[in-house]
Structure 1
């Protein structure tokens, strides 16, 4: 399986910043570094197993092999690429002159320009980390048992430890009116399956945003043939959410694992921007 991942990355420190891309650089360096490392460790160079008695290695996980190319899109000099503590060759740096908030659409261009070379075409915000070696195996299963017009997004989660929990999924339902102009969640609202004798439930997402998407060859072809592909429409929340979500939402039926099956497909949002709201802005009911 050949995988192409595109990542928009921007950093410019500012006072009274709102976004993480404008605050302390160190968390952004850590996030992007961890994202790249995890992708390469899980899906890049083939894994090995040490035969201790013979002091040699043998290939591992050969039933399904993967390879990955990572392209990071930046604009001007507003990025942290020189500060990443990574060896050469783990990613391609694509330099642009795009508006910072529209960098995601530069990633869409890269995906289109490389159409036909990969099995999966992916977009990932620069603070997201895949930690599941079976991530694409799960996507493959979903795509095989459904039709190509159904797309599965992961649940984003943050980790911490407080009086309430140690793990929090951060993209629960929006009010229906927010996405109603772009999707009809009542059209095939729920899918059910079973994996290793465990039921899994998928629902049309009232909050389809995950900061990422993962399209098959067939899905990528279908999207790029739409007249609105690369129209840079930013009408869903902001340009950032629009680049990650709007085009997919207009083209496909987006599903996410339902809360009762949330960890079937998930992705780590580094930091605690949402987690720290528990008990204050976000109410936590008492048991």
Structure 2
């Protein structure tokens, strides 16, 4: 019986040995095959490559930047260092976001009240500086409307931006086109949410500055899973209108031009003057980051540092201690 048992055991060992060998051969063969496919990848791509890149018409974008400094900052780059960096970031954001477009950037300012001479050489070459007649610096932003009106037939999009707002969104035009086409409101335009970065936290400042804020549930819309709503404080220091929207604004007569209609002249020129013609929407709190711009400052975060706000976000737990990793 023991001899028969030993024979049976040897047979089983032999069978499992063969199975293990087959498994190992299969594993090695699979690895070898994957490597061969990997090495043939470029040949396959070249075999089926497109003969030429599809040609797409480049949108024409006119970006007007409102920029004012003190006389001291204008004459002394050390005193103006903070303003120089802010404007540099704003221009770089435009160059990044509209690299696929035909972009024209104009800086609307006053004589001896700007720091454009201290910008990097590559930025100086791609901007137009317009020193308008002397006026109250707080009303310079209203002049950007006239720049848009004069060029309404030459460009597809008209972007207003203050010199401390940074846009990094190469899909901004696609987002605006989608909203304009599908919102269901002929006079609705989309504004971004503003945020600041302060000590590693992201604060949506237009929602943390005032706690008595509200969203219009009645007129909210949802487009392809993204929700938008009218907001009691739509200010963003930024707007971007299509040529069609610009012409609609011109037809309205622009009665709010040079009129302080809410808070102050800056907010009126950047936001509230458009309410005479449009309904202003922002991405809803359920998807705040769908369309956003950075306020390149931290003053509002310092004024309103409450960490418990649902509109103050952090990717890490700020209460945790830094771990000490010991080597083996």
- Please identify which structure carries the higher strand content: 1
Give the equivalent residue in structure 2 for 1:48: none
- Equivalent position to 1:193, from 208, 223, 231: 223
- Equivalent position to 1:284, from 308, 312, 323: 308
Checking the alignment, whether the CA contact within 8 Å between 1:3 and 1:120 is kept in structure 2 is yes
| Correspondences of 1:1-287 after superposition (within 5 Å) | 1-12=59-70, 25-44=80-99, 65-87=100-122, 88-97=124-133, 98-146=135-183, 147-161=185-199, 166-172=201-207, 188-194=218-224, 199-229=225-255, 231-279=257-305, 282=306, 284=308
Query: Once superposed, what is the RMSD of the aligned Cα atoms?
Result: 2.7
Q: Give, in whole Å, the separation in 2 of the partners of 1:114 and 1:123.
A: 14
> How much has 1:24 moved relative to structure 2?
5.1
Bigger Rg, structure 1 or 2: 2
Q: Give, in whole Å, the separation in 2 of the partners of 1:3 and 1:229.
A: 25
Q: Which has the higher contact order (CA 8 A, sep 6+)?
A: 1
Scaled by the length of structure 1, the TM-score of the pair is 0.78
The DSSP-based 3-state class of the residue aligned with 1:247 is helix
Q: Give, in whole Å, the separation in 1 of the partners of 2:236 and 2:89.
A: 18
> How much has 1:132 moved relative to structure 2?
1.5
Q: Give, in whole Å, the separation in 1 of the partners of 2:283 and 2:267.
A: 20
Listed as ranges, the gaps of 5+ residues in structure 2 are 1-58, 73-77, 311-328
Checking the alignment, whether the CA contact within 8 Å between 2:192 and 2:292 is kept in structure 1 is yes
Checking the alignment, whether the CA contact within 8 Å between 1:204 and 1:254 is kept in structure 2 is yes
Q: Give, in whole Å, the separation in 2 of the partners of 1:13 and 1:261.
A: 41
> How much has 1:284 moved relative to structure 2?
2.8
Scaled by the length of structure 2, the TM-score of the pair is 0.68
Checking the alignment, whether the CA contact within 8 Å between 1:208 and 1:249 is kept in structure 2 is no
Change (3 A) 1:285 1:138: closer
The DSSP-based 3-state class of the residue aligned with 1:6 is strand
- Please identify which structure carries the higher helix content: 2
Change (3 A) 1:36 1:277: same
